């Protein structure tokens, strides 16, 4: 083994350019979700599509194939891993034509904006044609990538979403979980009935105070406020750019816990991003290792660490101080707070789900997504299928009006909207 050669060094320069382009896309995407005026939506969709096309053009240029063929990373294990990731990204990019990449980006942006309006107006029918276009382009991308990589359509999408993962890895776990989850949920609900009643903190809880509390907790968890920010969006997410991590949540004044847990979840994502090796920030090896790893960090914080009795004991005085409540106020003690944080109640919204029912939402999305990609499920039948599976796992009944269809399936649609060339994000 020798030293790295000129071809490898040239690749590092090319991928540093791509990293800057990715950062620009990240900030534009964040702005679209958080601050962009609605009248700019069409132009922003064009901007994002053009930049995605430029990224694809750089990555698939003939010089890249030549350099990757000649490159030698030498004895350095980091550079060797970086070269491996470069080759992986190049192989995935060359599987897709540039016009398909741009069309997917533009359709996704348009669909996301249509979803916002449909969600507010409870109008699934207005969203359906936009979602149909995203699904069509996703299936086309899956087919092309699968042919290039020797994978079936869904595995090709899985691989781009979480490198190396296949349905054969997921199916046995999810099959077992689907069989046992309804009984487990039932047992937990019965156990809850036997517990003494717990007092609830009395609202309303002003948004400004919720936000201030969330920011304090973020910083206590280790979030660097000089390298990121917290805002509001229709659907909570973590995005932004390298060393500029943008988090969002959403607030309701009747209950502070959903927004608080959303902040803690997204802070888990942010801490992972901010903890990536700074010296490799502009290179593929310095990027996240896939969404399984990413979600493990956010759910570790939200579902395990931040729902523990020890955390509730620390959190209770922070919450009382945040809302200006006396230390002896009923329902604001650590025991009551812990009961609220660990309360199990089936619901329709994934991001508000508790630690027991949350997996049901993932199972439903996985099953329906595979059926959509394979063509076994027509898009028009998606709301009914979503509600049927949610009833089977959580026992929830949905009145199948057009409004209910839009409201109860927005989580699934939102994930598809966000990731047109990948499976629905869990």
Run of H or E including 335: helix 334-341
* Percent of all residues in the chain with a pLDDT value above 90, rounded to a whole number: 88
What residue numbers bound the domain in which 200 lies? 168-418
* Percent of all residues in the chain with a pLDDT value above 70, rounded to a whole number: 93
CA distance 234 to 25: 19
Residue-wise pLDDT tens digits, 145-158: 999 999 999 999 99
Which of 106, 137, 162 is a domain's end point? 162
The phi and psi torsions of 378 (rounded to 5 degrees) equal: -80, 145
Three-state DSSP state, 353? coil
pTM: 0.91
* pLDDT value at residue 397: 81
Do 31 and 177 share a domain, yes or no? Answer: no
Band of residue 399 on the pLDDT scale cut at 50, 70, 90? low
CA distance 395 to 347: 9
Band of residue 404 on the pLDDT scale cut at 50, 70, 90? very low
Token representation of residue 146: 């699968």
Do 181 and 282 share a domain, yes or no? Answer: yes
CA angle 52, 55, 56 (to 5 degrees): 90
Band of residue 120 on the pLDDT scale cut at 50, 70, 90? confident
* pLDDT value at residue 408: 40
Q: Is the pLDDT of residue 36 over 50?
A: yes
CA 384 from centre of chain: 24
Token representation of residue 264: 């803690």
More confident residue, 191 or 407: 191
Domain count of the chain?
A: 2
Do 52 and 106 share a domain, yes or no? Answer: yes
Residue 15 lies in a domain: yes
Residue-wise pLDDT tens digits, 83-92: 999 999 999 9
Run of H or E including 313: helix 309-322
Contact call for residues 268 and 297 (beta carbons, < 8 A): yes
Do 111 and 188 share a domain, yes or no? Answer: no
Do 190 and 253 share a domain, yes or no? Answer: yes
Contact call for residues 417 and 127 (beta carbons, < 8 A): no
Among 324, 319, 320, 207, residue whose Cα is nearest residue 254: 207
* pLDDT value at residue 425: 33
CA distances from 124 to 74, 135, 405, 406, 417 (A): 55, 15, 6, 4, 14
Band of residue 414 on the pLDDT scale cut at 50, 70, 90? very low
* pLDDT value at residue 373: 97
Do 153 and 172 share a domain, yes or no? Answer: no
Do 172 and 131 share a domain, yes or no? Answer: no
CA distance 32 to 150: 36
Residue 39 lies in a domain: yes
Q: Is the pLDDT of residue 54 over 50?
A: yes
CA dihedral 119, 268, 225, 40 (to 10 degrees): -20
Among 233, 242, 305, residue whose Cα is nearest residue 279: 242
* CATH number for the domain that contains residue 379: 1.10.1370.30
Among 411, 419, 423, residue whose Cα is nearest residue 124: 411
Do 88 and 227 share a domain, yes or no? Answer: no
Contacts of 151 (CB under 8 A, 6+ apart): 145, 159, 166
Q: Round the average pLDDT of the chain to a whole number and report it.
A: 91
Other CB atoms within a 10 A radius of the CB of residue 316 amount to 18
Residue 154 lies in a domain: yes
Known catalytic residue at 190 = no
Do 187 and 331 share a domain, yes or no? Answer: yes
Do 363 and 248 share a domain, yes or no? Answer: yes
DSSP one-letter code for 252: B
Contact call for residues 119 and 111 (beta carbons, < 8 A): no
Which of 143, 162, 181 is a domain's end point? 162
Lowest mean pLDDT among 15-29, 56-70, 309-323, 406-420: 406-420
Q: Name the H helices within 95-230.
A: 98-121, 124-149, 153-161, 167-193, 207-220
Residue 1 lies in a domain: no
Catalytic residue, chosen from 12, 211, 266, 295, is 266
CA distance 123 to 117: 8
* pLDDT value at residue 2: 64
Lowest mean pLDDT among 59-63, 260-264, 413-417: 413-417
* pLDDT value at residue 426: 31
Q: Which residues on adjacent β-strands are paired with residue 241?
A: 244
Token representation of residue 196: 């003494």
CA distance 45 to 49: 6
Residue 424 lies in a domain: no
* pLDDT value at residue 417: 32
Which of 162, 192, 227 is a domain's end point? 162
* pLDDT value at residue 121: 87
Among 126, 122, 109, 138, residue whose Cα is nearest residue 418: 109
Band of residue 370 on the pLDDT scale cut at 50, 70, 90? very high
Q: In the predicted model, what is the mean pLDDT of residues 272-280?
A: 96
Q: In the predicted model, what is the mean pLDDT of residues 297-324?
A: 96
Do 186 and 267 share a domain, yes or no? Answer: yes
Contact call for residues 285 and 81 (beta carbons, < 8 A): yes
Do 77 and 206 share a domain, yes or no? Answer: no
Three-state DSSP state, 248? strand
DSSP line for 380-392:
GGHHHHHHHHHHH
Residue 311 lies in a domain: yes
């Amino acid at each position: 083994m020798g030293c790295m050669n000129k071809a490898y060094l040239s690749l590092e320069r090319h991928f540093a350019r791509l990293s800057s382009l990715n950062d620009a896309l990240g900030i534009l995407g964040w702005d679209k979700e958080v601050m962009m005026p609605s009248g700019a939506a069409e132009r922003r969709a064009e901007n994002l599509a053009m930049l995605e096309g430029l990224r694809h053009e750089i990555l698939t240029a003939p010089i890249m194939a030549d350099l990757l063929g000649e490159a030698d990373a030498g004895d350095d294990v980091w550079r060797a891993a970086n070269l491996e990731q470069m080759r992986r990204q190049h192989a995935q990019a060359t599987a897709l034509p540039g016009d398909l990449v741009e069309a997917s980006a533009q359709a996704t942006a348009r669909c996301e904006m249509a979803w916002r309006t449909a969600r507010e107006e409870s109008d699934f029918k207005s969203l359906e044609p936009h979602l149909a276009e995203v699904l069509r382009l996703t299936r086309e991308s899956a087919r092309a990538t699968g042919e290039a990589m020797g994978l079936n359509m869904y595995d090709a999408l899985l691989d781009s979403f979480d490198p190396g993962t296949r349905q054969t890895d997921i199916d046995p776990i999810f099959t077992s979980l689907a069989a046992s989850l309804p009984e487990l949920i039932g047992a937990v609900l019965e156990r809850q009935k036997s517990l003494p009643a717990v007092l609830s903190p009395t609202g309303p809880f002003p948004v400004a105070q919720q936000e201030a509390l969330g920011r304090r907790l973020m910083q206590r968890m280790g979030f660097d406020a000089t390298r990121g920010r917290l805002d509001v969006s229709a659907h909570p997410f973590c995005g932004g750019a390298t060393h500029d991590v943008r988090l969002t949540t959403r607030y309701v004044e009747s209950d502070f816990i959903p927004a608080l847990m959303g902040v803690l979840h997204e802070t888990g994502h942010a801490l992972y991003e901010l903890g990536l090796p700074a010296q490799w920030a502009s290179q593929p090896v310095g990027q996240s290792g896939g969404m399984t790893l990413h979600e493990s960090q956010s759910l570790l914080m939200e579902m395990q660490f931040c729902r523990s009795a020890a955390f509730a004991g620390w959190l209770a005085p922070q919450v009382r101080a945040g809302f200006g409540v006396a230390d002896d106020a009923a329902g604001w003690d650590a025991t009551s707070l812990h009961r609220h944080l660990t309360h199990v109640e089936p619901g329709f919204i994934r991001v508000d789900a508790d630690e027991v029912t949350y997996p049901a939402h993932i199972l439903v999305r996985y099953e329906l997504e595979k059926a959509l990609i394979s063509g076994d499920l027509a898009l028009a039948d998606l709301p009914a299928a979503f509600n049927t599976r949610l009833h089977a796992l959580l026992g929830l009944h949905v009145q199948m009006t057009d409004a209910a269809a839009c409201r109860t399936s927005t989580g699934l649609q939102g994930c598809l909207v966000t990731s047109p060339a990948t499976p629905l994000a869990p």
